[in-house]
Structure 1
Amino acid sequence: MSDIAAPSFIRQDLVAERAAPVKTTGVIGFLRTRLFNSPAYVLLTIVSALLIWFTVIPALRFLFVDAVWQGHDREACLAQNAGHPVGACWPYVAAKMNQFIYGFYPDAERWRVNLVFALGAVLLLPLLIPRLPAKGLNAGLFFLAFPVLAFFLLYGGGLSGFGVSWLTGLLLAFANSLISVGDALIRVGVNAAAIHALLWPVAELIGLLNWLREQILTSRQPVWIDFTVTTIIVSALVFVLGGGVRAIRATIHTLVTFAGIGVVIALMGLDHGGLPVVDTRLWGGLLVTLVVSVTGIVASMPIGIALALGRRSTIPLIRIFSIAFIELVRGVPLITVLFFATYMLPLFLPGNLRIDGLLRALVGVALFSGAYMAEVIRGGLQAIPRGQGEAASALGLSWSKTTALVVMPQALRHVIPGLVGSFISLFKDTSLVSIVALFDLLGSLKASFADPVWATPTTAFTGFAFTGMIYFAFCFGMSRYALFVENRLNAHRRN
């Protein structure tokens, strides 16, 4: 049996040792797989290294290594006094920091700007943290009470018929317009009795509003009566439009918000003069940049939603108006809108009506951004299957509830990157307001170049680098937070 030969398919000698596997982890693995994996990777790595060497390294040397950190005037930032290549002139930034933040806002009143910044941060941060409670109340304070408080803190002045005065003025203008339309219909032959029957409630409303205004103006405390009536009207509208338990909760939030506004009125003395007035022509720097950008971002969302829904409407008049507005505004640059709002709009207004220049710019920016926002939101609406709306209708939901509770939340979740991209573009486009005599951050920077005390060859580069860092910090923060929200809302889709 021992002489039997082994089968031919059985190996008679030992197999040679295999080579060690290629390392794919750690620093060596990263270099091998990401930087030198193929000839194309090697070429790209070399080109990228050269770009970093000739751009990033000199920039870092200019900003930090060769920079001047101490000094009182331009002499500290001149090359002949340094004995080595001079980089960024940071004493210039420190000397002009107040101008970059406040513009020409009076020194004695800058505490008001600081208070607005602090209150805005305190109210905004809880909205951005998902786990914190009372989002409805916090949103009401930030979007309703805070703008009113910020206006009177920044601009100053007191309340003189601020509430029902303008509210009744708008209602009276609308009611008088209806009366004028009725008179025109009567003149063209429409049944006068029918027109009078339809417009009788409008005539009664005009009488009530005139009586209300007279009572307010003749009162010893017109501001508080004005404020109380405004609170009642707004709360009633919120309760009627809300419906159900949500209406009660929304009404309570509204009353709490107005109570907070009333406390602010009493503490700031807005019912008898208020704070000293600071004209908007003295505002500037980061203050104007944040005011324009935040107002544009907040106001563009409802405008964009309304235009997006209007463009999809089945009512021809609404659809044609929305399409015409969107295409007209998107067909011109922002600077054209700002020029029209700043210089041409006053020509179309009555002679005794004056609108502040900053307010005109805010309206122009909000409308311009709203038109772009409408197309982003419309793309999200088109991504929602028709079955979603049909299912909601089958459950008995109205069109408004279907849109608000079913369709719109899903559409906005789909277009978060587009929305944030529009927000970032708007934040950067606020620098264009300097062309219409508003000194934002970039405008204040350019104005600081006229100071001969800091006139050096590196002053301009230092200033633009500093403002670029500020813009990048805000834009990068918005981008990262949007990515966090997108991942959180789409967590159910992960495998």
Structure 2
Amino acid sequence: MANVDFTYVRKEMVAAREAPSNAKGIGHWLKVNLFATPRDIIFSILAIALLAYILPSIFRFVFIDAVWTGENRTACTTVSQGGALPDGQYGACWAFVSAKFEQFIFGRYPLEERWRPITVMVAFTLLLIPMLIPKAPFKGWNALALFIVLPTVSFFLLTGGFGLPYVETQLWGGLMVTLVLSFFGITVSLPFGILLALGRRSNLPAIKMLCILFIEVVRGIPLITVLFFASVMLPLFLPDGWTFDKLLRALIGVSIFASAYMAEVVRGGLQAMPRGQYEGADSLGLSYWQKTRLVILPQALKLVIPGIVNTFIGLFKDTSLVSIIGMFDLLGIVTLNQSDANWATPVTPVTGYLFAGFVFWIFCFGMSRYSLFMERHLDTGHKR
């Protein structure tokens, strides 16, 4: 060893070099994603040409020719229609959205009492934000406040009680109803869906059969039928003098429907678990519920995050179907206000639907992006 020459042995690692100029930047991205093959080039050019043809007209309608202020329909109609705009100019009537904005958010909730839903929305936001941050402390207390304390307090705050005047749910509407229905449906459907999925995979024949029957029956009928049954048919089966609030009926119908779909999503995750996980948990002497809670469910739910979020997004959009039972969520209240003679213009319906679609897109896009973040955060199976 004394005669070994270490002159050519490197003692330090070579510093990382930058990627070649042709393997980075927007040019490389375009080449890989849009112009990689002749077929990609053809479809990319066609898509770009189509967008170049459509987008300028949409941009002009939504922004350039749009009317942003006004007190009635004359602000959004042309001279030939009795308004103030030049003939041939057709733009979005955002003045209509501005005039009806509070109704779009709160429905017909009394004006002097709207501080109550605003308080609930602020509290919900303040509790939801730390719940969505993985490293935020006091997760248990935060979940208790968000899913137990807040709904209880919100019920009395929104409906009345403890000195507050009563506000019947018939006056509720707009985005407030959409958020109430979706939050309640999401909160209820996940735990009930987990129980139904576990019941469907149970070795007890009676429990398994009941869960299968419930899931298949509910999934086999449309949500409109479930809401119609909950609103119209359910009271017929109750004793005389018994009744349920219409909003409560909608909450029950939406939760039942979402739970059945959630059960199948969770069951897919349970079936994707390797058999060795079950055998390993059994070898440790864990009971059924310990094995399920500590070993199986955490891994199974991580596998089906896209499916769970997809169900949540579908539920959020399906809340618009409550209009079939006489309730007006965001889309319903927008449609209702289009019949106002003071704002009857050719562009009013399109503008209202654009506003509703944008609000739904904001919430659904936020949920999808957060699910991607959680997938990356929990994807630890192959990391070293």
TM-score (norm 1): 0.71
2:115 is aligned to: 111
Tell me, yes or no, if the aligned pair for 1:68 and 1:86 is still in contact at 8 Å.
no
In 2, Cα distance between equivalents of 1:307 and 1:36: 48
- Cα distance per residue 1:222-265 (max 9 Å; x no partner): xxxxxxxxxxxxxxxxxxxxxxxxxxxxxxxxxxxxxxxxxxxx
1:156 is aligned to: 160
SS at match of 1:96: helix
The answer to whether residue 58 in structure 2 is matched with residue 68 in structure 1 is no
- Cα distance per residue 1:325-384 (max 9 Å; x no partner): 000000000000000000000000001211101101100100100000000000000111
The answer to whether residue 352 in structure 2 is matched with residue 349 in structure 1 is no
SS at match of 1:343: helix
Work out the number of aligned pairs and report it: 360
| CA radius of gyration, larger in | 1
**Structure 1 position 280, deviation (Å):** 0.4
In 2, Cα distance between equivalents of 1:135 and 1:391: 29
Tell me, yes or no, if the aligned pair for 1:100 and 1:286 is still in contact at 8 Å.
yes
In 1, Cα distance between equivalents of 2:350 and 2:66: 12
TM-score (norm 2): 0.90
1:73-472 alignment runs, 5 A limit: 73-80=72-79, 81-83=84-86, 85-157=89-161, 270=162, 274-472=163-361
- Cα distance per residue 1:1-59 (max 9 Å; x no partner): xxxxxxxxxxxxxxxxxxxx994544444444444444322211221012212333322
SS at match of 2:243: coil
Q: CA 1:353–1:384 in 2, change beyond 3 Å: closer, same or farther? A: same
Identity score, percent = 53
1:9 is aligned to: none
In 2, Cα distance between equivalents of 1:492 and 1:314: 30
Q: What runs of 5+ residues in structure 1 fail to find an aligned partner? A: 1-20, 158-269
Tell me, yes or no, if the aligned pair for 1:341 and 1:361 is still in contact at 8 Å.
yes
1:30-49 alignment runs, 5 A limit: 30-49=29-48
The amino acid of 1:82's aligned partner reads: L
**Structure 1 position 75, deviation (Å):** 1.0
Q: CA 1:27–1:437 in 2, change beyond 3 Å: closer, same or farther? A: same
The answer to whether residue 59 in structure 2 is matched with residue 55 in structure 1 is no
The amino acid of 1:302's aligned partner reads: P
1:241 is aligned to: none
- Cα distance per residue 1:162-206 (max 9 Å; x no partner): xxxxxxxxxxxxxxxxxxxxxxxxxxxxxxxxxxxxxxxxxxxxx
In 2, Cα distance between equivalents of 1:486 and 1:30: 24
Q: CA 1:28–1:140 in 2, change beyond 3 Å: closer, same or farther? A: closer
SS at match of 1:439: coil
In 2, Cα distance between equivalents of 1:301 and 1:40: 43
Q: CA 1:30–1:147 in 2, change beyond 3 Å: closer, same or farther? A: closer
In 1, Cα distance between equivalents of 2:339 and 2:144: 43
